[in-house]
Amino acid sequence: MNVEELRPQEINQGKPLSLKLVVTISVGILQLAARLPDWLLLATLRVVKFFITLLKQDGSELQMVDDLISILSTDPRGNTIIRRLFLDNRPRQLQALIHGVIKHQLPSSNHAFVAIAAVPSPRRRVKPWLAPRIALIGKGFDCQKLTLAYQQTHRCHLTVIDSVRELTKEFDAWEIGPSPQLSLDLLEDALATGITLSLHYQALPDPEATCRILELASGHRTPLRIFYPYLYFAPVQRLKRLIESDEIGELATVRIRATVAGKGGLLTPEPIPKTDYLAHPGFDHFLLLTYLGGPMEQIAVYLNPMSQDHGGQALISGKYAAPGRYGLLELTSAPHLFIRSPYFPYDLEAELAGSNGIIWLRRGMGDRCYLAPITVRVGKRAYSLGVESGVPQSWDVVYTTAVEHFLGILAGRGVALINDADIRSAAKIKGAVMAAAEQKSVVMV
Amino acid sequence: MNHDKQCFNVGMIGVGDITMLHYPAYQNFDHARLAAICDVDPQLLAQKRAQWGIDNATTDYRQLLANPEIDIVEVNTPHHLHERIVVDALQAGKHVACQKPIATRVCEADAMIAAAKTSKGMLRILENFVFYPSYVKAKELLDAGEIGEPLTIRFKLGSSLFGSRWIPLKTELWHLAESEYGRGQAVFDDGYHKLSLAMYFFGEIECVKGFIDRSFGYIDEPAQLIWRYKNTSVLGSFDIAFSPTLFTKSDYFSADERVEIVGTRGIISLTCCTGRLTDEAPLILYRDGKRTMFDDLETDWQVSFTAAIRDFPIAIKQQRQTLLSGERALAILKFAYALTIGAKNGIELRPDDITDELVAQEFSLPITPKSGSY
């Protein structure tokens, strides 16, 4: 694909300054700073460091300022070299450098979550200087990864528990993974007492339970976060942003292909039940279907048995509530297919077509190929979003992002990444698929 | 009928827009030459006569059929006229190549097939996608087991208004009008090609379900259709999106056409046909962690017409059936109607259950065919 320039970032939200003027001013400031006496320059850098620390706790900017302070204070030759970099050059060179930094390298808001709705503040507000206490219960790969991510963040007290009896109200939040011990009453009780919940998308047994828990959370005005890995996968977030910004116009079709391959991952694929396979993590992408296209009204389904050894396939097509929009979830088990993956060899691709263009999502947990994770073809343009725009593609980032998101909710600055209607619809579709496969007609959901 | 004739003489009945893709097939071709043309539009006829240098031109197809020198007849007329002309041609002992779709009614197709059985001539329905180089290659790869057991096949059609040559408005309006009779452009007319491919790859269809929307009142897009095959566990899908302002470069029609076949061992991706949306290789085979790009395949849509048309005289000489047979073409017709009627009513249908009565009932058509203007 031809990679074209991304749109230049706005410099500020107010009156737009001309880029040329900003560059000129910036160059002037840098050259002035290069002429300052050491004590004044160091003091300025320390002030800059203070403000960076306020805004971000880590990052390469802080490291750069620290390095500058160190060199300027302890290395006379280094001090001279750095000053001369800004003073002894062709003016045009420095202008071009600053111009490029401003135009292409300033932090973009595109990496932020696509907020769908606000999340109520936790009723149990944790004081900012205290770390929230979180209990985690559940089995499975996602729970293991979340545990690791919580432990690595050092900004909460995580307790991994085995029994629901240990899920007490002393905790500020519960991170609930799939667990046979769960009951709706337990969750209702937690919400009623203001415990913030994070619920794995496969933790609830059926659509009725899902709808009920959403109602309870809303009724008690207690934050409820549904954890589904793809909501935290940066390429999917970018995809959502593109849809929300009408990049491809009116969205018409959403097609998702999910394949459980047999080879290529560091982990052996989880067993696929022969008939009731919709809950398999390689196939359970009903939330992605509704996240991208909205609630569905009707579905038409063909299901075949799935076999880990011989393969299998299923097609779930549907009509979205949005006029003129249709979707397809295509599931395949391909036992001899190789999908390179840091974990399970689960392949996922999506194609979204709209009135102005098409977006392709090229990967999920697995990386079938080294193409950019997102490719866009719109109007007469084509571009990709991947390594060049800093889109994180590592699957591990899903869990660190999810932990950051939940900690943000606990701190009262949470946003919802998916709305209740999409969650309900996904649960209803999943619940209706088996019956729909038997029907000789489309089925309302 | 002399099957051993060195070079067959071809008479073309109907010289409309699509025949600009037929004519090149007869250039520098030893097995057949374009010898006569016919069209009811005298102005168009005169234009083609001059353009192609064909002296033998008539507005009455019967005159063409009566010419003993003509061995093969191409029928490129509006669909509702196919039956009468094809049957007459077969009864006159000619070999007949009829443009897709075979007809608009099951009874018409039945009549054509019956006439072919008692004729000295052979009948074929000209559908060029099954001769498109990357699709032919894909079939070879499938048959060789390159992707293991096939699991799913997916067709994608994205139609656009920008990127191709100007299509005469009259042609477009005719297509739009046909949609009122269940013969929409995306699913029935252009869709015929995709459905033909669907059967080319995996055979007969058991049942279908799905959704077809309507844009701007007449365009049968977007759509999402799924089906089961009779003799294989493969599941098929066809999604259609109307992307009017997505520039899709094409020398013919601005259509983004893709096919993806997933198997137990690999994936075949076919990235283009009529139009080119991206610069990818036309066929990509993914298997064992490697992608093989088939960059040596010709992608010009004209190539498929040339291959399709040239195969007919060779098939006649070899006394074999070429694609599409009348029976296959009828099966595709029923497949298309099953999708359209099934989607209209939100029910599953079997193509085998499609009858003219059902079609007429759904689209308020008279059961008896209307007379044509030819």
- What is the percentage of chain B residues whose pLDDT exceeds 70? 96
B282 and A CB contact within 8 Å: no
Residues of B in contact with A376 (CB under 8 A): none
Q: How far is B347 from chain A (nearest CA, A)?
A: 4
Mutating which of A254, A257, A302, A439 best tests the B interface, going by the most B Cβ atoms within 10 A? A302
Asked if residue A428 has pLDDT above 90, the reply is yes
Q: Are A410 and A195 in contact (CB under 8 A)?
A: no
**End-to-end Cα separation, chain B, in angstroms:** 27
Residues of A in contact with B267 (CB under 8 A): 337
Cα A117 to its chain centre, rounded Å, is 15
Residues of B in contact with A248 (CB under 8 A): 243
* Nearest residue on chain A to B260, alpha-carbon basis: A257
Q: How far is A269 from chain B (nearest CA, A)?
A: 15
User: pLDDT digits over B81-92, tens only?
Assistant: 999 999 999 999
Please name every residue paired with B205 in a beta bridge, in sequence order, or none if there are none: B229
Residues of A in contact with B205 (CB under 8 A): none
Burial tier of A32 (Cβ tally within 10 Å: 0-12, 13-18, 19+): exposed
- For A280, the 3-state DSSP assignment is coil
Mutating which of A3, A289, A340, A358 best tests the B interface, going by the most B Cβ atoms within 10 A? A358
B246 and A CB contact within 8 Å: yes
- Under 8 Å CB pairs connecting chains A and B tally to 162
Give the torsion sign (CA, B247, B250, B256, B261): negative
Extract the runs of DSSP E, i.e. beta strands, from B230-344.
235-242, 255-263, 266-270, 283-287, 290-294
B217 and A CB contact within 8 Å: no
Q: Which two tokens stand for residue B91?
A: 């009864």
> Would the CB atoms of B235 and A249 count as touching at under 8 Å?
no
User: pLDDT digits over B285-319, tens only?
Assistant: 999 999 999 999 999 999 999 999 999 999 999 99
User: Cα(A353)–Cα(B20) distance, rounded to whole angstroms?
Assistant: 31
Burial tier of A69 (Cβ tally within 10 Å: 0-12, 13-18, 19+): middle
Q: How far is A303 from chain B (nearest CA, A)?
A: 9
- Res. A109 pLDDT band, cuts 50 70 90: low
* Nearest residue on chain A to B154, alpha-carbon basis: A330
Q: What is the Cα Rg of chain A in Å?
A: 25
Q: Which two tokens stand for residue B272?
A: 């283009």
- CA-nearest of B154, B99, B147, B100 to B270 is B154
> Would the CB atoms of A300 and B289 count as touching at under 8 Å?
no
User: pLDDT digits over A310-337, tens only?
Assistant: 999 999 999 999 999 999 999 999 999 9
Q: In what order do the strands lie in the sheet with B57-58?
A: B57-58, B32-38, B8-13, B72-75, B95-99, B123-126
Nearest beta carbon to residue B235 from set A1, A2, A304: A304
Residue B180: per-residue pLDDT: 76
Asked if residue B3 has pLDDT above 70, the reply is no
Q: How far is A402 from chain B (nearest CA, A)?
A: 30
Q: How far is B260 from chain A (nearest CA, A)?
A: 11
State the CB neighbour count (10 A cutoff) for residue A409: 24
Extract the runs of DSSP E, i.e. beta strands, from chain B.
8-13, 32-38, 57-58, 72-75, 95-99, 123-126, 150-159, 205-212, 223-229, 235-242, 255-263, 266-270, 283-287, 290-294
Output the average pLDDT for chain A: 89
Residue of higher predicted confidence among B368 and A279: A279
User: pLDDT digits over B154-178, tens only?
Assistant: 999 999 989 988 777 777 777 777 8
User: Cα(A392)–Cα(B118) distance, rounded to whole angstroms?
Assistant: 68
Residues of A in contact with B271 (CB under 8 A): none
Helix or strand (DSSP H, E) at B51:
helix B42-52
Mutating which of A337, A356, A440 best tests the B interface, going by the most B Cβ atoms within 10 A? A337
> Would the CB atoms of B149 and A377 count as touching at under 8 Å?
no
- When pLDDT is averaged across residues A387-397 and rounded to a whole number, the result is 84
User: pLDDT digits over A117-161, tens only?
Assistant: 778 888 887 777 789 999 999 989 999 999 999 999 888 999 999
Residue A13: per-residue pLDDT: 43
* Nearest residue on chain B to A359, alpha-carbon basis: B246
User: Cα(B279)–Cα(B286) distance, rounded to whole angstroms?
Assistant: 17
Residue B370: per-residue pLDDT: 47
State the residue for tokens 């059936």: B321
* pTM reported for the whole predicted model: 0.89
H-only helix segments in B182-300: 191-202
> Would the CB atoms of A353 and B241 count as touching at under 8 Å?
yes
Residues of B in contact with A319 (CB under 8 A): 211, 224
Residues of B in contact with A336 (CB under 8 A): 148, 264-265
Residues of B in contact with A315 (CB under 8 A): 152, 226, 235, 237
Q: Are A359 and A374 in contact (CB under 8 A)?
A: yes
- Res. B373 pLDDT band, cuts 50 70 90: very low
- Res. A107 pLDDT band, cuts 50 70 90: low
Nearest beta carbon to residue A337 from set B158, B209, B266: B266
Q: What is the Cα Rg of chain B in Å?
A: 20
B347 and A CB contact within 8 Å: yes
State the residue for tokens 């990864």: A145
User: pLDDT digits over A329-370, tens only?
Assistant: 999 999 999 999 999 999 999 999 999 999 999 999 999 988
User: Cα(A243)–Cα(A237) distance, rounded to whole angstroms?
Assistant: 10
Residue A128: per-residue pLDDT: 74
User: Cα(A221)–Cα(B181) distance, rounded to whole angstroms?
Assistant: 54
Q: Are A428 and A204 in contact (CB under 8 A)?
A: no
Burial tier of B320 (Cβ tally within 10 Å: 0-12, 13-18, 19+): exposed
A304 and B CB contact within 8 Å: yes
Q: Measuring CA to CA, how many Å separate B294 from each of A64, B268, B299, B302, B359?
A: 48, 11, 11, 19, 42
User: pLDDT digits over A166-201, tens only?
Assistant: 888 899 999 999 887 788 888 989 999 999 999 999
> Would the CB atoms of A325 and B247 count as touching at under 8 Å?
no
DSSP string for residues in A185-207: HHHHHHHHTT-EEEEETTSSSSH
Residues 322-341 of A with CB under 8 A from B: 324-328, 330, 332-338, 340
User: Cα(B51)–Cα(B43) distance, rounded to whole angstroms?
Assistant: 12
Which letter does DSSP use for residue A109 in this model? G
User: Cα(A282)–Cα(A260) distance, rounded to whole angstroms?
Assistant: 6
DSSP string for residues in B112-155: HHHHHHTSSS-EEEE-GGGG-HHHHHHHHHHHTTTTSSEEEEEE
A293 and B CB contact within 8 Å: no
Q: How far is B228 from chain A (nearest CA, A)?
A: 8
User: pLDDT digits over B260-291, tens only?
Assistant: 999 999 999 999 999 999 999 999 999 999 99
Residues 70-129 of B with CB under 8 A from A: none
Q: Which two tokens stand for residue B312?
A: 């007919």
Following CA atoms B226, B230, B232, B235 in sequence, which dihedral angle do they give, to the nearest 10 degrees?
A: 0
A255 and B CB contact within 8 Å: yes
- Res. A7 pLDDT band, cuts 50 70 90: very low
Question: Does residue B324 have a cis bond before it (omega within 30 degrees)?
Answer: yes
Q: How far is A369 from chain B (nearest CA, A)?
A: 8
State the CB neighbour count (10 A cutoff) for residue A40: 11
Task: Say which residues have a Cβ less than 8 Å from residue A39's Cβ, sequence separation at least 6.
Answer: none
Please name every residue paired with B239 in a beta bridge, in sequence order, or none if there are none: B156, B224
Q: How far is A312 from chain B (nearest CA, A)?
A: 6
User: pLDDT digits over B238-268, tens only?
Assistant: 999 999 999 999 999 999 999 999 999 999 9
> Would the CB atoms of B151 and A334 count as touching at under 8 Å?
yes
Residues of A in contact with B240 (CB under 8 A): 253
> Would the CB atoms of B152 and A354 count as touching at under 8 Å?
no
Residues of A in contact with B262 (CB under 8 A): 257, 259, 313, 330, 332, 334
B314 and A CB contact within 8 Å: no
User: pLDDT digits over A79-93, tens only?
Assistant: 998 888 888 877 788
A362 and B CB contact within 8 Å: no
- Res. A3 pLDDT band, cuts 50 70 90: very low
Length of chain B: 374
Burial tier of B364 (Cβ tally within 10 Å: 0-12, 13-18, 19+): exposed
* Nearest residue on chain B to A333, alpha-carbon basis: B264
> Would the CB atoms of B288 and A313 count as touching at under 8 Å?
no
State the residue for tokens 């036309």: B282
Residue A97: per-residue pLDDT: 85
State the CB neighbour count (10 A cutoff) for residue B30: 10
> Would the CB atoms of A328 and B237 count as touching at under 8 Å?
yes
Asked if residue A57 has pLDDT above 70, the reply is no
Residues of A in contact with B211 (CB under 8 A): 298, 300, 317-319, 326, 442
User: Cα(B17)–Cα(B22) distance, rounded to whole angstroms?
Assistant: 10
State the CB neighbour count (10 A cutoff) for residue B265: 23
H-only helix segments in A36-139: 38-55, 60-74, 76-87, 91-100
